[in-house]
Amino acid sequence: MNRTKIAFVASLTLVLALAVTSCSKQEEAKLEKTAATAAAEVKAKAEAGVKAAEAAVAEREAHEAAIDAYIYAYPLVTMEITRRVITNVEGPVGSKAPMGQFARLRNYPAVDDHSVTAPNADTLYTSGWFDVSKEPWIVSIPDMKDRYYLFPMLDAWTNVFQVPGKRTTGTKAQTYAITGPGWSGTLPAGVTEYKSPTAMVWILGRIYCNGTPEDYKAVHALQDKVTAVPLSAYGKPYTPVPSKVDPMAEMKASPRDQVNAMDGSAYFKLAAELMKANPPGPDDPAMVAKLAKIGIVPGQDFDAAKLDPVVAKGIAAAAKPAQGKIEGYLKESMVTGDAKLENGWLYFKNTGLYGAGYRNRAMITWYGLGANRPQDAIYPVAEGPDILKKFSGGQKYVMHFNKGEMPPAQAFWSVVMYDKDYFFVPNPINRYTVSSRTKFKTNADGSVDVYVQHDSPGKDKEANWLPAPADAFVLMMRLYWPKEQAPSILDGSWKPPHVKEVS
């Protein structure tokens, strides 16, 4: 091979080598680019997964915090909706009255009155709602002439912050100034100050009445002497400011149904607004910190639209599970110690003053808004002959009291029939309760049998008949001013009798 051919072959080999090298580098670059793209995609997916996981955790945490916040605020929101319903009238009528005026119930609550759950048929209510944010209100109670009464004063969170009555202050004439948070000033001579921790105050006064025409008349005269005026009008002629009715207000649905129908956003918006004048209490710092995590700050407006969408989603879904927890706490409270179960009767000792017992407070609001302190009243509740079985109007039951073992109360006692929603039950003899004033027909040994059933047990037994509805029902026993010495329900030395199913 001559030199020319050798040079050509060498050049060709070099060109081919360079071409191969170039292709390899291009392929390598392409592979590197592909690998980089894949790595970026993997990284992006991983980051998206992390963000999704973080969002899920944030939503769950917001949801759980919102459930706790819902339970915490339930009494406050329920009080407000109840106030709106009860005060949306031009003047006092029946169980309703405008703000700053007393409603004087002249008869036991009507069977179709669903404004307050678990009403009683032992006392006549004298109740009123007051706003003490601007100035104190002066409440005067007449000489009750040794008659049993109590005028519990509830703050916006349902705590009974004061309770004048026969047990605590006697039955002579009394005058009180209810002052709001932060108020300071001078009160007239002879006026005792009761400081409310909130601007909203509900006075849910009860005066014992035996239900006869003569006693109705006597109690009516006492009710008419119960007065309330703002401090600026005390000792002067006073005419309440005319009240305007809100025609758009919901007046048919019960307050509880209205609250339970609110979505999370509307519920917390109202709660935040109410907390401006009705601040959290001294036991609430931990809860206040939890509220802040979901955008609820006492004293400030709440707007779910301004929240992180994940947090807003958690809040929106909180209402129904929170309501389930509130309703379900009736049985759970036996484990926590807030309740006792005796012979099928569940009753609570931690009422009226709740501290940080938020679930207990919400549950009491759910079943019986306006509960008293235990020293004033204990309310055993029975939903069935035992905790595993419900009462039904299709069955017959007997509640047996041994001789000398009627409920030990210094004021009075009663057993009230409610439907499953804790309202009175219509019946042919218009009897909703048996009580310490019932003229029972006793057995030969001095004991008493109370017949709890839908149909009459027979004319010879109707004196002891507590009529039940055709379907599910609930019994509530009331012991007003329960005895503290044995036998006493307060220390467990007296227990409510078992309501037994009979054939």
146 and 223 part of one domain: yes
Residue 12 has pLDDT above 60, yes or no: no
Task: Count the Cβ atoms, other than its own, within 10 Å of residue 68.
Answer: 18
Residue 30 has pLDDT above 80, yes or no: no
**Does residue 146 lie in a domain region?**
yes
For the ranges 66-75, 119-128, 200-209, 394-403, the lowest mean pLDDT is seen at: 119-128
**Does residue 156 lie in a domain region?**
yes
DSSP string of 28-89? Answer: HHHHHHHHHHHHHHHHHHHHHHHHHHHHHHHHHHHHHHHHHHHHHHHHHHHHHHHHHHHH-S
81 and 192 part of one domain: no
57 and 167 part of one domain: no
Query: For position 331, what pLDDT does the model report?
Result: 79
Distance, in Å, from the CA atom of 401 to the CA atom of 199, rounded to the nearest integer, reads 45
426 and 311 part of one domain: no
Residue 2 has pLDDT above 80, yes or no: no
64 and 194 part of one domain: no
Sign of the dihedral through C-alpha 56, 57, 62, 65: positive
Among 429, 408, 406, which Cα is nearest to 417's? Answer: 429
**Does residue 16 lie in a domain region?**
no
**Does residue 32 lie in a domain region?**
no
> Mind listing the pLDDT tens digit for each residue in 234-246?
999 999 988 899 9
> Mind listing the pLDDT tens digit for each residue in 107-130?
887 888 776 677 778 999 999 999
Mean pLDDT of the chain: 90
Residue 59 has pLDDT above 90, yes or no: no
**Does residue 3 lie in a domain region?**
no
Q: How many domains does the chain have?
A: 3
191 and 303 part of one domain: no
The residue segments making up the domain with residue 204 are 89-233
**Does residue 33 lie in a domain region?**
no
> Mind listing the pLDDT tens digit for each residue in 409-452?
999 999 999 999 889 999 999 999 999 999 999 999 999 999 99
343 and 482 part of one domain: yes
160 and 265 part of one domain: no
Q: Give the CATH number for residue 452.
A: 2.60.120.600
Task: Count the Cβ atoms, other than its own, within 10 Å of residue 346.
Answer: 19
454 and 433 part of one domain: yes
> Mind listing the pLDDT tens digit for each residue in 274-299?
999 999 999 999 999 999 989 999 98
Distance, in Å, from the CA atom of 496 to the CA atom of 346, rounded to the nearest integer, reads 10
- Predicted TM-score of the model (pTM): 0.82
User: Which residue is it, tokens 């059933």?
Assistant: 453
Distance, in Å, from the CA atom of 103 to the CA atom of 80, rounded to the nearest integer, reads 17
pLDDT higher at 95 or 23: 95
